[in-house]
């Protein structure tokens, strides 16, 4: 006869699920931090603002955005003070950007005006 495991108690089930959720969360955070590091390397060049949209101030991985909104509220990224605080803690998310003068965007490629 095969060895059957006795059914798990409620406490064992809760403990198992808690461990599973925590390990899944830590994996997602680790992957998001790696993606944010890639983003930080790619945003090193200066960017120009776009008429009607303004200037980019940060580029943040979506997983980090979701977790931050869950922790601090859905409108946290609309608060300028929160963005300053977030960028101080995460300098890799900061984007250097300038004005719109001298830029024409054609098919996603930027060409300086002559």
The tens digit of pLDDT for each residue in 52-95 reads 777 777 788 888 888 889 888 998 888 889 888 888 888 878 77
Backbone angles phi, psi at 50, to 5 degrees: -115, 135
Say if 32 falls within a structural domain. yes
pLDDT band at 107 (very low <50, low <70, confident <90, very high): very low
pLDDT band at 109 (very low <50, low <70, confident <90, very high): very low
- The answer to whether the pTM exceeds 0.85 is no
Say if 1 falls within a structural domain. no
Say if 5 falls within a structural domain. no
Query: How far is Cα 42 from Cα 22, in angstroms, rounded to an integer?
Result: 30
What are the pLDDT digits (tens) for 3-50? 677 787 888 888 888 887 777 777 887 888 888 777 777 765 566 666
Query: How far is Cα 71 from Cα 47, in angstroms, rounded to an integer?
Result: 30
Q: State residue 20's pLDDT score.
A: 79
Backbone angles phi, psi at 100, to 5 degrees: -95, -5
Q: State residue 81's pLDDT score.
A: 92
pLDDT band at 100 (very low <50, low <70, confident <90, very high): low
Range of the domain at 31: 10-112
What are the pLDDT digits (tens) for 44-54? 556 666 677 77
Q: Which tokens is 77 given?
A: 């990224």
Number of structural domains the chain divides into:
1
Q: Dihedral of CA 57/58/59/62: which sign?
A: negative
């Amino acid at each position: 006869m095969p060895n059957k495991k006795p059914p798990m108690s409620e406490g064992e089930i809760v403990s198992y699920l808690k461990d599973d959720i925590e390990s899944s969360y830590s994996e997602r955070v680790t992957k998001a931090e790696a993606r944010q590091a890639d983003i930080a390397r790619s945003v090193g060049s200066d960017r120009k603002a776009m008429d009607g949209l303004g200037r980019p101030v940060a580029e943040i991985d979506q997983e980090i955005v979701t977790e931050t909104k869950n922790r601090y509220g859905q409108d946290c990224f609309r608060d300028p003070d929160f963005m300053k605080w977030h960028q101080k803690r995460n300098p890799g998310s900061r984007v250097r950007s300038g004005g719109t003068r001298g830029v024409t965007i054609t098919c996603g490629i930027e060409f300086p005006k002559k």
